[in-house]
Amino acid sequence: DTTARLNFMHAVAQAWDAGKLFHIALNDQEPGRYDQDFRFGAYNPKSAFALVRFLEGVGYDGPRHFDAHAYRTSDPADVQAFATGCIRTYLILAEKAKQFAADAEVQALISEMVETDRRADLPDAARSGPYSAARVAAIRAHDYDASSLGQRGRPYERLDQLTTEILLGVR
């Protein structure tokens, strides 16, 4: 998905929502590049965090496999360090996901966004729930007030900064 510049997180969430996430292959790479198979979390730790947070949050208990490889110049000890690093990064990010979930300021921002959506002029189908053709039809049929939706405001930058601080270990 990332090779084709698609959002891997969305694909995983869709598979989970459809009851079809039986296995996940974890690695990292620069979007739009060939299948680089970098060590998990090596290129984009924030994306890796979002994925781990999702998997841990939904209670995914299926296999996690690291579809990645050490550099071709690595010796056996470096290959072992590579494998250990993939696992260690996942476990660190799982702990960071717990910290994120327990952070009062983070949760207050998320609650604020959810409450803003509740007050917005959105059809129930647009708020939450699994994908369905009926939900898509309801969303498309709704007459949205673009002006009021544009004025809702979102504290995304503050939430992103808090996420960064959690990942960098300063929070």
pLDDT band at 128 (very low <50, low <70, confident <90, very high): low
The predicted pLDDT at position 70 comes to: 86
What whole-number distance in Å separates Cα of residue 39 and Cα of residue 79? 11
Q: Are 53 and 97 in contact (CB under 8 A)?
A: yes
Lookup result for tokens 């910290």? 99
Whether residue 120 is predicted with pLDDT greater than 60 in this model: the reply is yes
- Percent of the chain residues past pLDDT 70, beyond the cut: 88
Higher pLDDT, 151 or 95: 95
Task: List strand residue ranges (DSSP E) for the chain, in order.
Answer: 24-26, 64-66
What whole-number distance in Å separates Cα of residue 160 and Cα of residue 125? 27
Whether residue 117 is predicted with pLDDT greater than 80 in this model: the reply is no
pTM: 0.81
Question: Using one digit for the tens of pLDDT, what is the confidence trace for 27-65?
Answer: 988 777 667 788 899 889 999 999 999 999 999 999 999
Q: Residue 156: which residues within 8 A CB-CB, separation 6 or more? A: none
Question: Using one digit for the tens of pLDDT, what is the confidence trace for 78-88?
Answer: 999 999 999 99
The DSSP 8-state label assigned to residue 169 in this structure reads T
